[in-house]
């Protein structure tokens, strides 16, 4: 339930800044049709840091209702304050979730003891499985494989989204955490090699834009068909790069707006891309055949 091609889903907004639930429904239906294995709701790409707790819970609840069991839903439950992460976890624990994605508490740079106590408290708030989320570029702290192994001893920590881009960590994590510990890439440009080295899938930004292609690449890599996986991945590399010309989710929301999947609305402090980045994203989509060259 927590493996394969998982989309780090954006949150569509109206021009007034409210959640656009009609657009959210369309996105969920599209990903079901495209064959994605799961959706992360209210992660970084979903602009969770700009949402109130009530909004956060409402969006996750709506996603579960709209998905109606057709696709796995994973909820972001992280926060820089343990009490807030626990509160979010408790409020969503009754929902039909495949699990939680729990980011390393950002800004605080806790000690190893602080990390363990943080995750222990979050895991005590729900029996649902939880994935660690290691993204040093966002949190200011890198959870090293040895630390992951210690955290994996907590009963319902079942895996990690590893977003450093360091493919060598797959072997280290597998050796330290065992064959059943779920290893997911959170770095699109290296996701293919991550799986071929022994990973279990991706939680992807690019999959918002090319879900069918991402699913095909992940499936090929999981089968061990390196040639096919690399062939499919090569076709997405320019899109991967375009999705990170500015901070996520600025580029991916602009791309989806170009595809007419949502309106290009953001929550401050996120704003639309600068004009050169807009043009680069649009040109990349055209070259990849995602939008018409005439658009």
User: Residue 234 is encoded by which pair of tokens?
Assistant: 């090569």
| Rounded-to-integer distance, Cα 13 and Cα 15, Å | 7
Per-residue CA distances from 166 to 5, 31, 66, 137, 179 (Å) = 19, 28, 35, 13, 19
Residue 51 to residue 34: CA distance in whole angstroms: 28
251 neighbors 282 (Cβ within 8 angstroms): no
Pick the catalytic residue: 119, 161, 215, 253? 161
CB distance 70 to 95 below 8 Å: no
Dihedral sign for Cα atoms in the order 175, 188, 108, 74 = negative
For residue 190, what is the DSSP state? G
* Selected catalytic residue, list 133, 215, 253, 266: 133
Please confirm, yes or no, whether 161 is among the known catalytic residues: yes
What is the distance between the alpha carbons of residues 262 and 285, in angstroms, rounded to a whole number?
Answer: 16
Q: Is 41 annotated as a binding residue?
A: no
What's phi and psi for 159, nearest 5 deg? 180, -175
d(CA 251, CA 263): 13
Any binding-site annotation on 203? yes
Secondary structure of residue 201 in the 3-state scheme: strand
Measured on CA atoms in the order 60, 19, 28, 232, is the torsion positive or negative?
A: negative
CB of 43 within 8 A of CB of 293? Answer: no
Phi, psi (degrees; rounded to nearest 5) at 103:
-75, 145
Closest CA to 96 of 121, 124, 122, 68: 68
The catalytic site residues sit at 133, 161
For the annotated binding site for pyruvate, the residues are 45, 203
Which residues are annotated as part of the binding site?
A: 45, 203
């Amino acid at each position: 339930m927590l493996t394969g091609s998982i989309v780090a889903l954006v949150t569509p907004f109206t021009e007034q800044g409210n959640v656009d639930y009609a657009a959210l429904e369309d996105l969920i239906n599209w990903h079901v049709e495209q064959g994605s294995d799961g959706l992360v709701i209210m992660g970084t790409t979903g602009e969770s840091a700009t949402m109130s707790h009530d909004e956060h819970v409402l969006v996750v609840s709506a996603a579960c209702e709209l998905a109606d069991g057709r696709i796995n839903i994973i909820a972001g439950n992280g926060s820089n304050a343990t009490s807030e992460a626990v509160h979010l976890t408790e409020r969503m624990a009754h929902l039909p979730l495949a699990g939680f994605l729990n980011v390393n508490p950002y800004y605080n740079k806790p000690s190893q003891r602080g990390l363990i106590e943080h995750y222990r408290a979050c895991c005590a708030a729900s029996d649902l499985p939880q994935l660690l989320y290691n993204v040093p570029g966002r949190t200011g702290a890198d959870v090293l494989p040895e630390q992951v192994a210690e955290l994996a001893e907590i009963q319902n920590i079942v895996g990690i989204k590893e977003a450093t881009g360091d493919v060598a960590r797959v072997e280290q994590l597998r050796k330290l955490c065992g064959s059943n510990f779920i290893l997911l890439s959170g770095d699109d440009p290296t996701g293919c090699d991550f799986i071929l080295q022994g990973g279990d899938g991706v939680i992807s930004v690019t999959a918002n834009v090319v879900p069918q292609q991402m699913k095909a690449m992940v499936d090929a890599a999981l089968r061990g068909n390196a040639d096919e996986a690399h062939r499919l991945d090569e076709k997405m590399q320019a899109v991967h790069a375009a999705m990170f010309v500015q901070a996520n989710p600025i580029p991916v929301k602009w791309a989806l707006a170009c595809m007419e999947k949502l309106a290009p609305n953001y929550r401050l402090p996120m704003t639309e891309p600068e004009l050169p980045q807009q043009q680069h994203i649009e040109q990349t989509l055209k070259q990849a055949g995602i939008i018409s060259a005439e658009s």
